[in-house]
Structure 1
Amino acid sequence: MSEHATDPIERAIAISDREFRELADFAPVMIWRAGVDKLCDWFNKPWLEYTGRAMEDELGNGWAEGVHPDDLERCLAIYVGAFDAREPFSMEYRLRRRDGEYRWMLDNGAPFYREGHFAGYFGSCTDVSAHRDAQRAQRILINELNHRVKNTLAVVQAMAIQSFREDQSVAHSLAVFESRLRALSAAHDLLVARAWEDVALRGVVEATVAPHDPNGSLVSLDGPPLMLSPEAAVSVAMALHELLTNAIKYGALSVAEGRVSLGWHYEPERHMVRLEWKESGGPAVEPPVQRGFGTRFIERVLAAQAGGTAAVTFHPDGVHCFFEASARARSMEPLDRLVDA
């Protein structure tokens, strides 16, 4: 039908059809049309530019050559089923882009009618790969958040059990529990600053020790640059908090002459770091009759959370402790990534 047709109605239809195609070619979506025989007879310019194929290649069932083989059967079943029922459809499938990459498309189709008679289907497609990636990332994030919340609650529960004991006053137990909560909060602040990515072991150690040794003269640190997972970082920080609290109250840091050495070395075959805490110069130490709640907290709870083992021993010259945690060697990152939060 030509726009030069003499009949006004025919001329209007011809002009409308031409203007629709021009408009469709400027639309921000990919548009297709199929006739009553289910075969596609037209695609707009965005579709052809996206697939990198000519109109004649896409006509009929040619467009199906670009659908991912794993999606084709499902795609055709939905298309044919909706077509036979004269119902709209919406489906997602992967379509090959002009560069060869398969991208997820959202395809919406609906029947159209002319003068009351079924004339075929119009459909539009949009690339939803980024949306699907975002949804997948959100699911991963939610699962990871659930995992971390459960781990944190397990630590808090263990802290409460270890802090509130029948042989201690409520006030003392509450003070101990609050101190541990503050330490746990400080450890989480460190992780938040790093967006819950792996953190530098030295940064965790220095941030935990600093409030108790602001001048850096009481606790000496020595060890290679390593990275800890968020879970291991929290456990290391909490273990050091327990050791520092005990050292300040009863151990080496309770006297001016006392000192602590904290060193660590990496065991690459196990992907583990072994931290060693040694006190010296403090009051003489006698092994306790029973393991204290702080010791049990380190050995039974925190080490398990860190994926390793721990042991606290009481030598005459001071408390010794080794603590293992999963770790990895630090890669060569940009300097701004290595600054400890």
Structure 2
Amino acid sequence: MYDEAKSPYERSLIAGDREFRELADFAPVMIWRSGTDQLCDWFNTPWLTYTGRAMVDEVGNGWAAGVHPDDVDRCLATYVGAFRAREPFSMEYRLRRHDGEYRWLLDNGKPFYRDNRFAGYWGSCIDVTAHREAARAQRILVNELSHRVKNTLAVVQAMATQTFVGDRPVADALTAFESRLQALAGAHDMLVNHAWEDVALRGVVEATVAPHDPGQSRIVIDGPPLMVASAPAVSVAMAVHELLTNATKYGALSTDTGRVDLGWRFDPASERLQMTWKESGGPPVATPTRRGFGVRFIERVLAGQAGGAATVAFEEDGVRCCFEAPARSWRHVTENFRTPVSIP
């Protein structure tokens, strides 16, 4: 049995035989031991290497000096409570590593007996920081995925609700709905290729416009280099798709002489872009008696999804749409716009 008259450090010097110490020191875990007085009297080499402290500094309650201040009370309460009840325990807490960084440890302790008499506790610890960070990243990923799926379903629901309302023939409605789904899928494909990070606004616009203007002669695109997040990117792509569809059927792109000017400006003070779609050279425009699905979809659904605003005006010489959304310049901060841009 242990001589309780000896100090924890003295007990540490005679803990176990040489073979045991060699085995414990080569173990891939951090091991500690305490006597019947609750004081730790031995730590293996991996523990001492991890903390960067000597045995004499760790024994007794010295090890607790390395526990994070926010965890020490809970850590000691768990240890003392289990010790008094002679029960095993498992807890996580942050311990200061030799380089000063606090890392999360999983500490498992269990009472041991000699000659049927309680002799103290053995414990082992492993660093679980990477596991905790991976679990946290997974939770964030699941939450983000859930959020994006809900947003996408909301867009699809709005498309379905509006597309199949009214007296439109079913075949026409199905064609329109399929076209909108393809546009939505195209926007999502672009975001997947960029790992759902910010994407270049020009890339979003050009990819959406390309099928409608193969020769790049009827739709003029102009604007500074900007980056947009996933939600605004999808909304911009869908809004441009709706405008292109309308222009091809009824507007500037339905004739050989029509054209579209699609440009945007950026206000660095508010970090928002204002995109303007303006048709010209097409058939005369008359204000419709009721706003169609495309207009309502842009103004109500897509603008809300993008966190901005949108308006569609049926001007005499061509449709005008103004779409506003958050964005950021991709220029270095020293090269960024320093004076707010005046947006007409």
Q: Do they superpose with TM above 0.5? A: yes
4+ residue stretches of structure 1 with deviation over 3 A? none
Q: Which residue of 1 aligns with 2:174?
A: 174
Please show how residues 1-341 of structure 1 align to structure 2 within 5 Å.
17-332=17-332
SS at match of 2:231: helix
Give the superposition deviation at 1:259.
Answer: 1.1
AA aligned to 1:137 is: A
Length, aligned pairs only = 321
SS at match of 1:70: coil
Alignment partners' CA distance in 1, 2:220 and 2:24 = 71
SS at match of 2:161: helix
Give the superposition deviation at 1:215.
Answer: 2.3
Alignment partners' CA distance in 1, 2:253 and 2:76 = 75
Cα distance change, pair 302–128 in 1 and its aligned pair in 2 (3 A) = same
SS at match of 1:74: helix
Cα distance change, pair 101–291 in 1 and its aligned pair in 2 (3 A) = same
What TM-score do the two structures reach when normalised by structure 1?
0.91
Alignment partners' CA distance in 2, 1:58 and 1:66 = 9
Native 8 Å contact 2:33 2:120 kept in 1: yes
Q: What are the Cα deviations for residues 8-31 of structure 1, in whole angstroms up to 9, with x where unaligned? A: xxxxxx997311110111111111
Alignment partners' CA distance in 2, 1:141 and 1:23 = 41
Identity %: 71
Q: What are the Cα deviations for residues 76-126 of structure 1, in whole angstroms up to 9, with x where unaligned? A: 111111111211110000101111111111001111122222211111111
Give the superposition deviation at 1:47.
Answer: 0.6
Alignment partners' CA distance in 2, 1:15 and 1:175 = 81
Cα distance change, pair 331–137 in 1 and its aligned pair in 2 (3 A) = farther
SS at match of 2:71: helix
What TM-score do the two structures reach when normalised by structure 2?
0.90
Q: What are the Cα deviations for residues 135-180 of structure 1, in whole angstroms up to 9, with x where unaligned? A: 1111111111111111111111111121112221111111111111
Deviates more, 1:58-67 or 1:311-320: 311-320
Cα distance change, pair 209–139 in 1 and its aligned pair in 2 (3 A) = same
Alignment partners' CA distance in 2, 1:244 and 1:166 = 22
Deviates more, 1:111-120 or 1:168-177: 111-120
Alignment partners' CA distance in 2, 1:257 and 1:181 = 29
AA aligned to 2:174 is: L
Alignment partners' CA distance in 1, 2:115 and 2:17 = 15
For the aligned residue pairs, the C-alpha RMSD in angstroms reads 1.7
Alignment partners' CA distance in 1, 2:222 and 2:81 = 70
Alignment partners' CA distance in 1, 2:214 and 2:109 = 68
Native 8 Å contact 2:79 2:89 kept in 1: yes
SS at match of 1:312: strand
AA aligned to 2:85 is: A
Alignment partners' CA distance in 1, 2:15 and 2:131 = 37
Cα distance change, pair 259–37 in 1 and its aligned pair in 2 (3 A) = same
Q: What are the Cα deviations for residues 55-94 of structure 1, in whole angstroms up to 9, with x where unaligned? A: 0000111101111111111111111111112111100001
Alignment partners' CA distance in 1, 2:326 and 2:67 = 45
In the alignment, structure 1 segments of 5+ residues that lack a partner are 2-13, 334-341
Alignment partners' CA distance in 2, 1:264 and 1:134 = 40
SS at match of 1:113: strand
